[in-house]
A and B are shown apart, each in its own frame.
Chain A
Amino acid sequence: MGGLARRVSYIKAFQHRSNMEVPTLFVDAGNLFTDDRFAGDHLPAEVMTKNQWVVKGYSDFHQDVANISFNDLPYIAELFKKDGYEKRLQEYPFIDRLISANLEPADDTRRAPQPYLIREVTLSRTAPGKKLRIAFVGLTEGKPTSPNQHESLYAGFRINDVFETAKRVIPEAKKKADMVVVLAYMSQDMAQRLASENPDIDTLIVARQMSLMNDPEHFGRATITYAFNQTKYLGELRYYLRSDSTIENQINRYVALDADLPDDPQASEIVTAAHNDFTNVQKASMDANPAPAAQPASQDSPFVGASTCMNCHATQYAVWEKSGHAHAMATLERKSQQFDNECVRCHVVGFNKGGFQSLISTPQLANVQCEACHGPGREHVAAPAKGFGFMATPTGCVQCHTLTNSPDFNFATYWPKIKH
């Protein structure tokens, strides 16, 4: 599900269907870039590479506006450096379409993003030839440090209060436009408060790694919709206007970007090039920093691997060995994603929990083995006892078989395949 190549296909089809006569804008509500393994002042080379390809992809396939979220800041800190900015902008015009009203650089080595952008479209259906100006305002919550606390300074940027900023910026944007659309990276509660407090907002497009496909919410004149995590479902807001071009109604649709949508050939080329580049940089990085040789019996890890479990649970092992779980890494290898930590975490044992690190240092913990579901087994091996490894189903399964990662998951049909 998802991906640039299917997204581009859909957008092209959408425009062709109306013979290009209906103005259509493409926006992103935030979290475009990864901040994985941000080490205080720099991003690792492979993470930089991934982000650079996003900038290229979004420059090559027109994006009208994108909101900067707190997750984006380590890479934004690189993009918005004053030194070399004009050259970067010339190469990747998309940089100038990254907005935020409540971010400001903590020092003068970086540029501040534009608080809002106004896009003008020409209507053809309700009032042919009439121009409509749409102001897009960007806002992000601070970087969370605990459930109720947010960092106000991150990666060289100050993250100002969302609500104070909105009260200042949104009326200003409204004066210059016919319609105000806020791109907001924040929780549902914050978005609802934002809509309630700011009557000039017409549409609020909200993201925060949510997997919601609810009907839009309405607060005063504002319509709130939620972007689906990883854009596996594309959001589509249709506007129906009165003869004076004011909004009569907004209807939201979610479009599944599944295999029924063919990949766009041009976008596929970018995705493949990005993929190969990232894989090469990742391999080079691993070669330059070789991890210790694989130690199947490493006493440092709480995980022991399926081959140890087999010593006492041979019947269960035999079932597992024939299941898809035992070959989960091969699924990634077929798409050369075995180095992409975003994907790897659900295809191994104990990622980021003292288990799998990489195919070079801990190959014995690749694939979804016994301990991925039943928990680390080292203590159990040392003192075997009944009651170990209970796992609630399907609650445990849906940690990885989420709606976004595994849309076809059905416990009733999946469980018999691994019943043991």
Chain B
Amino acid sequence: MHRKLSLSVTLLFITILTTLQFGCSGSDPGEADMNAPLSFDINSPKIKERLGNDDGYAMAIIYGADIHGSLETCG
């Protein structure tokens, strides 16, 4: 009985962990977690200037193009 309970708890834990990891975020296994804590301060003046004001937008699309095979730029 004790063993069955222990096994059930373990399975439940694994299920919760898997759901948290892959189910809710909508991301794929192996993807970097974009919600992970940042390595820099978003309240620093330079970063705040880049981010602009949060003026109540409901949704955003961030876009780019023309990287032409390069994950970095020259020089």
Contacts and interface: CB of A to CB of B under 8 A. Distances in A.
Interface of A: 1-5, 7-18, 20, 22-34, 36, 47, 50-51, 53-54, 57, 59-62, 67, 71, 93, 121, 123, 125-126, 132, 181, 183, 185, 203, 205, 207-209, 225, 227-232, 234-241, 251, 253, 255-256, 260-262, 264-267, 270-271, 274-275, 331-332, 335, 337, 340, 342-343, 346-347, 405
Given A253-B52, A271-B72, A62 B61 contact: no
A5 to B, nearest CB: 8
A13 B47 contact: yes
Interface string B23-46: 000011011101110111010001
Contacts of B49: 260
Contact of B42 (A17, A132, A203, A234): A17
Contacts of B52: 253
A61 B61 contact: no
A255 to B, nearest CB: 6
A27 B61 contact: yes
Contact of B65 (A24, A227, A266, A347): A227
Contacts of A54: 67, 69-71
A264 B64 contact: no
11 contacts: A15-B35, A22-B57, A22-B60, A32-B69, A34-B68, A54-B70, A181-B61, A205-B65, A239-B61, A240-B56, A265-B39
Contacts of A53: 71
B54 A235 contact: no
A1 B55 CA distance: 27
Main secondary structure of the interface of B (DSSP, over half): loop
Contacts of A241: 58-59
B26 to A, nearest CB: 9
Given A126-B58, A251-B57, A234 B64 contact: yes
A125 B55 CA distance: 11
A25 B68 contact: no
Contacts of B40: 9, 13, 262
Contacts of B67: 28, 31-32, 54, 230-231
B50 interface: yes
Contacts of B55: 238
Given A13-B51, A207-B66, A240-B56, A59 B28 contact: yes
Contacts of A11: 34, 62
Contacts of B54: 17-18
B16 to A, nearest CB: 20
A332 B31 contact: no
Contacts of A266: 32
Contacts of B32: 8, 60-62, 266-267
Contacts of B38: 9, 12-13, 16
A225 to B, nearest CB: 8
Contacts of A255: 50
A4 B71 contact: yes
B73 interface: yes
A228 B59 CA distance: 21
Contact of A235 (B36, B46, B63): B63
B74 interface: yes
Nearest to A205: B63
Given A262-B39, A335-B75, A405-B75, A238 B69 contact: no
B58 to A, nearest CB: 4
Contacts of B42: 13, 16-17
B24 to A, nearest CB: 11
Contacts of A227: 63-66
B60 A239 contact: yes
A240 B58 contact: yes
Given A36-B69, A61-B32, A264-B39, A239 B57 contact: yes
Given A9-B40, A62-B31, A205-B61, 9 more contacts: A12-B38, A25-B59, A32-B68, A62-B27, A227-B66, A231-B65, A236-B60, A237-B63, A261-B46
B44 to A, nearest CB: 9
Contacts of A59: 28, 30-31
Nearest to A18: B54
A240 B64 contact: no
Contacts of A265: 39
Contacts of B34: 8, 11-12, 15, 61-62
Contacts of A32: 67-69
A51 B69 CA distance: 5
Contacts of A340: 70, 74
